[in-house]
């Protein structure tokens, strides 16, 4: 039987700072997650 994989969409809005993407991706990795797609946008400033 094929293993079922769950997919989630995560949206984060916050002030930019050094290491932010690293911290988020590290947390996902520690939970056994995998990032299939990553998009970043600067909304202002």
Express each pLDDT in 1-45 by its tens digit: 678 889 999 998 888 889 999 999 999 999 999 999 988 888 876
Distance CA 12, CA 10 (A): 7
**pLDDT score, position 45:** 62
Q: Could you give the CA distance from residue 9 to residue 35 in angstroms, rounded to a whole number?
A: 10
Name 42's Cβ contacts closer than 8 Å, sequence gap at least 6: 16
pLDDT at site 3: 80
For the question of whether the overall pTM of this predicted structure is more than 0.85, the answer is: no
**Domain boundaries, given as residue ranges, for the chain:** 8-34
């Amino acid at each position: 039987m094929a293993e079922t994989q769950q997919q989630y969409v995560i949206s984060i809005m916050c002030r930019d700072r050094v290491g932010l993407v690293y911290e988020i991706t590290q947390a996902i990795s520690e939970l056994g997650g995998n990032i299939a797609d990553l998009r970043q946008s600067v909304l202002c400033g």
